[in-house]
Amino acid sequence: MRANGIVSNWSEIPPHPPLVTVSIGLVCLAVLLIYYGVSPVLQQAMIEVGGMHPSRLAQILEQTAASWWDLSMLTVVTSIFIHANWLHLVGNLAYLWVFGMPLEQRLGPFGLLAVFLLGGALANVIVALRVPLLDTPIIGASGAVSAVVGAYLGLFPRRRIGLFLPLGLYLQFARVPALLVIGSWFTLQLLYTVFGPINAAVAWWTHVTGFALGLSITLMGKALVQIRL
């Protein structure tokens, strides 16, 4: 309903565009294009400088809090936006698109950005604490995207997600419970950890930690809202 040109029913208000979701994707895409556009030497330099080195971060975290103000600490964020191949990027952006858009509609652009960056950064910190001897740089938005997935489950535990499922030679559109989709994703992470390469443990801690952080953030937020009410 409208009164004097003003929307009186909030449900009629069109949702705002997912600016942060799209912007994150564009930044990651731009970084990957730059990566492919430079020489192999500069590619390695991008990963070495922008990637998160668990061994370096673990050494910093072992010191006093006053010593944490180190440039290496910035890599817990810069590493999120660096991907070394299209498959890695597309996989992360697909999940970000599916779960990030509705999350941005509910939390707003700054809320989604906070979940993405905070979840991704803390996931990298946990990896550094779990594998403190690893000197291989960690890159990718997996931890941050996992935080978005966890936050989505915390806010929309009963929502269904529209998917195209392969049925023989055809694709059938179906609305699948979000809990089932996320549970399948979680199972794949577990299988990858058990049967994957040596660095699968790193991926496991990155994904699971990000997921747990995102879920915890939204559950605590919902609890605080209920307490205030």
Q: What is the per-residue pLDDT for 5?
A: 43
**pLDDT tens digits, 143-179:** 999 999 999 988 888 877 665 555 555 565 567 677 7
Per-residue CA distances from 227 to 172, 220, 221, 222, 224 (Å) = 43, 10, 10, 9, 5
pLDDT of the residue at 179: 78
Nearest to 32 by CA among 86, 90, 97: 86
Mention every residue, 6+ apart, whose C-beta is less than 8 A from residue 183.
none
Radius of gyration of the CA atoms of the chain, in A: 19
**Assigned architecture for domain 12-228:** Up-down Bundle (1.20)
pLDDT, tens digit (0-9, with 9 covering 90-100), for 106-130: 889 999 999 999 999 999 998 888 8
Domain boundaries, the chain: 12-228
Give the span between the Cα atoms of 80 and 145, in whole angstroms.
9
